[in-house]
């Protein structure tokens, strides 16, 4: 029998969305925080054009994409690395900077892939309590141990949807030891960019990384393009463990073109926020606790793990897929992505009906 190494066989596979609609039902997937719209027509055209040269390897240095990101955000192109989704960058950061002799720290209800990344390299995974779905800087600082190598924080957070103001993140960075890497994962950053609180300047300290992705606001989840801003020494080490030629030529071209259509991306974010608030209001009126969100999803507190489980099963039976949150330590919650208006309407209707049934 061929066995995997012990820490891999001890791991559970990463929980992917289950999207098998019952026979005869239309699949309504509000489960993966994808954009409610396809990518910008500019991105579609550029991606299709790049496919014509699909017999060639892609640019291993993501030259045009880095230049475009540099121009848009006013950051140095040479400090940008692009990943096969930001998941690749998260996994590689753990691989390069943590191991079985040290620890990775994150808030208690953080994006579950932070834990997976730590497990893959046998690092201890510590969590700091959150207060009411909000990251607590004090709790994170208290949870730091002498062997804490990386602190991962998503801002805004998934699945909580809540946002940490810049001043608090600066306080976190200043309170962490200089040899602890802070990774600020801004996968949903574009949805909060209107607040004007960029974090890229912290990277200049040499101990902080900021990650972003094209999977959410830019609607390119299927192209797998993430990126980040890295201090030079961190970038040098990270590249050693990243897969060469990691992003397809079509993905790079589509992402570069998407950046040129800021109006499209901003309009998507605005529409998402408008639909989100309408959905949230409906659910609140039905009696659900739905915390304020700064993202393209909302967290719905269902009252108990049992109620969440039963609601999830009932919705799935009708083809409506939300995402259970037991993996993030919130078994009493379901997360709903802000999808197309029609789909949200159906999901809200089903949840309203359930709320009434639960009362009777």
Ligand X SMILES: Cc1ncc(COP(=O)(O)O)c(C=O)c1O
Scanning 84-92, 190-198, 303-311, 319-327 for contacts with ligand X by CB under 6 A, the matching segment is 84-92
Contact by Cβ (8 Å): 81, 236: no
CB of 216 to ligand X, least distance (A): 7
Query: Is 249 or 350 the residue whose CB approaches ligand X more closely?
Result: 249
Scanning 137-145, 213-221, 230-238, 316-324 for contacts with ligand X by CB under 6 A, the matching segment is 213-221
Task: Candidates 126, 130, 185, 207: give the one binding ligand X (CB under 6 A).
Answer: 185
Task: Candidates 93, 154, 234, 333: give the one binding ligand X (CB under 6 A).
Answer: 154
Asked if residue 189 binds ligand X (CB under 6 A), the reply is: no
Q: Residue 227 burial by CB count (10 A; 0-12/13-18/19+): exposed, middle or buried?
A: buried
| Distance separating alpha carbons of residues 44 and 218, to the nearest angstrom | 12
Asked if residue 200 binds ligand X (CB under 6 A), the reply is: no
| Distance separating alpha carbons of residues 347 and 318, to the nearest angstrom | 10
| Distance separating alpha carbons of residues 342 and 26, to the nearest angstrom | 12
Asked if residue 241 binds ligand X (CB under 6 A), the reply is: no
Asked if residue 187 binds ligand X (CB under 6 A), the reply is: yes
User: What DSSP line would sit under 138-171, residue for residue?
Assistant: HHHHHH--TTEEEEEEESS-TTT-----HHHHHH
Asked if residue 221 binds ligand X (CB under 6 A), the reply is: yes
DSSP, res 315: H
CB of 282 to ligand X, least distance (A): 24
Asked if residue 296 binds ligand X (CB under 6 A), the reply is: no
What end-to-end distance do the CA atoms of the chain give, in Å?
Answer: 55
Please report the sign of the dihedral spanned by the C-alpha atoms of residue 185, residue 338, residue 130, residue 99. Answer: negative
In the chain, which ranges are E strands?
28-29, 80-83, 103-107, 124-128, 148-154, 181-185, 208-213, 226-229, 297-301, 320-321, 323-324, 333-337
Asked if residue 33 binds ligand X (CB under 6 A), the reply is: yes
CB of 75 to ligand X, least distance (A): 18
Task: Candidates 31, 35, 86, 272: give the one binding ligand X (CB under 6 A).
Answer: 86
Scanning 85-93, 133-141, 172-180, 240-248 for contacts with ligand X by CB under 6 A, the matching segment is 85-93
For residue 336, what are the CA distances in angstroms to 28, 33, 38, 107?
A: 11, 8, 18, 21
Task: Candidates 62, 97, 111, 218: give the one binding ligand X (CB under 6 A).
Answer: 111
Asked if residue 199 binds ligand X (CB under 6 A), the reply is: no
DSSP, res 287: T
Task: Candidates 35, 180, 213, 294: give the one binding ligand X (CB under 6 A).
Answer: 213
Asked if residue 39 binds ligand X (CB under 6 A), the reply is: no
Which parts of this chain interact with ligand X (CB under 6 A)? Answer: 33, 85-87, 111, 154, 158, 185, 187, 213, 215, 221, 226
């Amino acid at each position: 029998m061929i066995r995997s190494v012990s820490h891999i066989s001890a791991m559970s596979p990463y929980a992917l969305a289950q999207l098998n609609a019952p026979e005869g039902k239309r699949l309504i997937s509000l489960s993966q925080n994808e954009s409610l719209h396809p990518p910008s027509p500019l991105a579609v055209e550029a991606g299709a054009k790049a496919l014509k040269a699909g017999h060639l390897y892609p640019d291993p240095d993501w030259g045009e994409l880095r230049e475009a990101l540099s121009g848009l955000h006013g950051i140095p192109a040479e400090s940008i690395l692009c990943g096969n989704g930001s998941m690749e960058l998260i996994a590689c950061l753990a691989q390069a900077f943590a191991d079985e002799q040290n620890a990775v720290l994150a808030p208690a209800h953080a994006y579950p892939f932070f834990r997976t990344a730590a497990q893959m390299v046998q690092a201890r995974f510590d969590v700091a309590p959150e207060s009411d779905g909000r990251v607590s800087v004090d709790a994170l600082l208290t949870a730091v141990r002498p062997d804490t190598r990386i602190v991962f924080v998503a801002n805004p957070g998934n699945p909580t949807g809540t946002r940490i103001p810049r001043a608090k993140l600066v306080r976190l960075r200043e309170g962490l030891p200089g040899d602890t890497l802070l990774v600020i994962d801004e996968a949903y950053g574009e949805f909060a960019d209107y607040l004007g609180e960029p974090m890229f300047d912290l990277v200049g300290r040499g101990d902080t990384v900021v990650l972003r992705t094209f999977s959410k606001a830019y609607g390119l989840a299927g192209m797998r393009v993430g990126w980040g801003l890295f201090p030079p020494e961190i970038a040098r080490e990270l590249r050693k463990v990243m897969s060469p030629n990691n992003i397809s030529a079509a993905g790079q071209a589509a992402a570069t073109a998407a950046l040129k259509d800021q109006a499209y991306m901003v309009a998507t974010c605005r529409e998402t926020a408008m639909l989100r608030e309408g959905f949230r209001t409906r659910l609140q009126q039905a009696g659900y606790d739905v915390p304020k969100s700064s993202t393209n999803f909302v967290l719905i507190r269902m009252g108990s793990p049992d109620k969440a489980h039963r609601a999830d099963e009932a919705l799935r039976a009708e083809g409506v897929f939300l995402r259970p949150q037991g993996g993030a330590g919130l078994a009493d919650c379901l997360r709903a992505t802000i999808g197309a208006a029609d789909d949200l309407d159906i999901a809200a209707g089903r949840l309203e009906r359930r709320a009434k049934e639960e009362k009777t």
